[in-house]
Amino acid sequence: TDLSRIRNFSIVAHIDHGKSTLADRLIQLTGTVAERDMKAQLLDAMDIERERGITIKANSVRIDYPAQDGQTYVLNLIDTPGHVDFAYEVSRSMRAVEGSLLVVDATQGVEAQTLANVYQAIDAGHEIVPVLNKIDLPAAEPARIREQIEDVIGIEAHDAIEISAKTGLGIPDVLEAIVQRLPAPKGDRDAPLKAMLVDSWYDSYLGVVVLIRVMDGVIRKGDTIRMMKTQATYKLDTLAVLKPAMTQIDELGPGEIGVFTASIKQVRDTRVGDTITHEKKQTATALPGFKPSVPVVFCGLFPVDANDFEDLRDAIEKLALNDASFTYEMETSAALGFGFRCGFLGLLHLEVVRDRLEREYDIDLITTAPSVVYRLHLKSGEVKELHNPADMPDLTLVSHIEEPRIKATIMVPDDYLGDVLKLCQDRRGIQADLTYAGTRPLVVYDLPLNEVVFDFYDRLKSVTKGYASFDYQLTGYREDNLVKMQILVNDEPVDALSMMVHRDRAEMRGRAMVEKLKDLIPRHMFKIPIQAAIGGKVIARETLSALRKDVTAKCYGGDATRKRKLLDKQKAGKKKMRQFGKVEIPQEAFISALKMD
Ligand code: GTP
């Protein structure tokens, strides 16, 4: 295709501002998908994404658009994930396109993720077309939002397009603006092949599918290519474009976006951001490389029923085929037996993976306390990464500990500002900035990641009745007074409940945990002490009193079926319990005990 008739773009938006709905409308209006095949949120392929309404995997679609100037244009939309955990995936797909539609909900205005995403688009050198969505709603205030976009983001917004992705109003204007306002790609057809590996995923029929953007040269079916970072070579089996169904094509030239398969076994063999060139005629310079995505949150996943371990291993291996950002290794816990220590990009990522394991593979899981990666400076001078509090060496060997910090950007209505500042302060935050985006406060805090990983986002939503928006990025490591806190149930340490905490907050966290556990652990025939301790020192204690009567006692001599029913019920309840010494702890205790209310 002639370069002047290609437009490559992405859509950036805060979550729920209507990105997926707009993508659907663009696909529908251009007849890319037959009406009968149209289903809502076409690009959100996975069920779980559909249910939660979030986009996880970047994906792409090619649209043929006959424009008002009489020419037919090829529009390539690369869809990007909308959640903070996946900021890295957003940044890499941005490098593959020249422009962005900035979608802002005209009833809500600019939010934290609008800012984060649009700055990435600006960094990538994009031309940006602002689009005001949900104009069909009576609460829409397009004039005010235009001004807000200009004030807060600092881009021209007087010609922002007013649309309703729901009713279809204004969609033709968006298509025209893509053609007229976004730049055509550049590239040299006669130069050696240089293509960017944008994304890859595992397909059970085709194996690994690789999404690429051609910069220079031409790639054809049957070509032998080389990935410059891994130095691996492959012969292409198929070359196709996504419409969004895979449609075979003979070649892709400069500016074009498409996919290939080449008998690649696992997603891990492909590096996002790698440069693809021809084996015979190689390009002299690779594209600037991207940093690999690194997991920042770790937790242990253990089967409730030890017999499910092999099933869990299979399930994790299958999931990892399609998600190279998720890491795992086997772990043994004194309390929980065999399981896996897994690394995630963030909490949402953790939740998504855990949900898929439980639902798609039907395995009941115990999740241990999420932990960030600490840097241990040992007295020997060695520096070690700590992914698991259970691996914490003897304190006498440690000189000091550093923890990761983040820059959190929070936007919140004035009424809730006080609650948000208090929440951040309670989580050891240091206020970095407080400004106004139009009339709404924009708060920037420097926070320790370990105070955020567990329930910060939930708490933020609840103290602001859902009105706050949040975004964060890792900023670096800083030394602090951190200790390992253990929980002992009936005098036995439960390793899966141990966690790293700040020394000043240890008593408070310890107290909260033992109180919670007292409610979560059912009473037994004997009394059970529940303690929190640092080293050998107990810092909080509760005692669960003994159960007086046998549950079935009152049935003795009487109704046998009733007794059996009671025992069956107990047995069913036990399924989700784990035995620790003489004590049974229910599965949900592991997660609930960590919540701070
Ligand atoms: P993520 O994919 O989760 O990032 O969200 P999104 O930005 O793609 O939002 P989505 O398209 O899922 O839309 C969010 C909600 O807003 C859905 O319930 C849509 O039906 C609704 N919505 C989208 N566009 C419009 C619109 O123009 N008018 C109205 N009234 N509702 C809309």
Per-residue model confidence as pLDDT tens digits over 497-552: 888 999 998 999 899 999 999 988 888 889 999 999 998 899 999 999 987 655 55
Q: What are 417-421's contacts with CB under 8 Å, separation 24+?
A: 417/441, 417/443, 419/463, 419/464, 420/460, 420/463, 420/464, 420/468
| Residue 17 assigned ligand-binding role | yes
The predicted pLDDT at position 54 comes to 38
- Whether 133 has a binding-site annotation, put simply, is yes
Is 291 known to sit in a ligand binding site?
no
Ligand 1: residues whose CB is within 6 Å?
Answer: 13, 15-21, 53-55, 82, 133-134, 136-137, 164-166
- Is 458 annotated in a binding site? The answer is no
How far is C-alpha 262 from the geometric centre of its chain's CA atoms?
28
User: Which residues, in sequence order, are CB contacts of 25 under 8 Å at separation 6+?
Assistant: 165, 168, 171
123 is in an annotated binding site: no
Q: Name the residue with the closest Cα to ligand 1, atom 14.
A: 16
Bridge partner list, 277: 226
Q: Confirm or deny that 235 is annotated as ligand binding.
A: no
471 labelled ligand-binding: no
Residue 57, pLDDT score: 44
**Helix axes of 171-181 and 19-29: crossing angle, nearest 10 degrees:** 90
The Cα–Cα gap between 37 and 30 comes to 14
**CA nearest 87: which of 244, 239, 261, 291?**
291
Residue of 16, 26, 39 best suited for mutating to test ligand 1, as the one with most atoms within 8 Å of CB: 16
pLDDT at res. 595: 65
> Does the bond joining 244 to the residue before it have cis omega, within 30 degrees of 0?
yes
Q: What's residue 34's pLDDT?
A: 61
* 20 CA distance to ligand 1 middle (Å): 7
| Protein residue with its CA nearest to atom 10 in ligand 1 | 18
pLDDT of the residue at 589: 78
Q: Are the C-beta atoms of residues 38 and 65 closer than 8 Å to each other?
A: no
Residue 130 buriedness (CB in 10 A; 0-12 / 13-18 / 19+): buried
pLDDT of residue 591: 66
Take atom 23 of ligand 1 and give the residue whose Cα is closest: 18
Q: What is the residue with the minimal CA distance to atom 4 of ligand 1?
A: 15
Nearest CA owner, ligand 1 atom 19: 18
| Residue 356 C-beta-side C-alpha neighbours within 13 Å | 20
> 3-class SS at 343?
strand
Residues sharing a CB contact under 8 Å with residue 424, sequence separation 6 or more, in sequence order: 408, 410, 431, 443, 445, 447
Mutate to test the pocket of ligand 1, among 10, 21, 27, 164 (most ligand atoms within 8 A of CB): 21
Question: How far apart are alpha carbons 174 and 169 in whole angstroms?
Answer: 10
Spacing, Cα 395 to ligand 1 middle (Å): 51
From CA 351, how far away is CA 22, in angstroms rounded? 27
Closest CA to 434 of 424, 426, 423, 445: 445
Distance from Cα 102 to the centre of ligand 1, integer Å: 14
Side chain identity, residue 281: K
Q: What is the reported pLDDT for 140?
A: 95
- How close is the Cα of 83 to the center of ligand 1, in Å? 15
Going from the C-alpha of 154 to that of each of 98, 132, 260, 340, the distances in angstroms are: 19, 16, 39, 46
What residues of the chain score a pLDDT lower than 50? 44-58, 555
pLDDT score at 374? 95
Which pLDDT belongs to residue 20?
87
What is the pLDDT at residue 269? 82
Is the distance from CB of 227 to CB of 274 less than 8 angstroms?
Answer: yes
Q: Would you say 226 and 272 are in contact if contact means Cβ atoms under 8 Å apart?
A: no
Q: Is 136 annotated as a binding residue?
A: yes
Looking at ligand 1, which atom is closest to the CA of residue 24?
11
Residue carrying structure tokens 């807060």: 152
What is the predicted ipTM? 0.97
Whether 341 contacts 300, CB under 8 Å: yes
> Ligand 1 centre and the CA of 166: distance in Å?
8
Q: Whose CA is nearest to atom 5 of ligand 1?
A: 16
pLDDT for the residue numbered 33: 63
Residue 58, pLDDT score: 41
546/552 Cα distance (integer angstroms): 16
The Cα-based distances of 175 to 9, 65, 161, 181, 484 in angstroms read: 11, 8, 11, 10, 56
Structure tokens at 235: 């012969």
Ligand 1 atom with the shortest distance to the CA of 165: 27
Number of CB atoms found within 10 A of residue 106's CB: 27
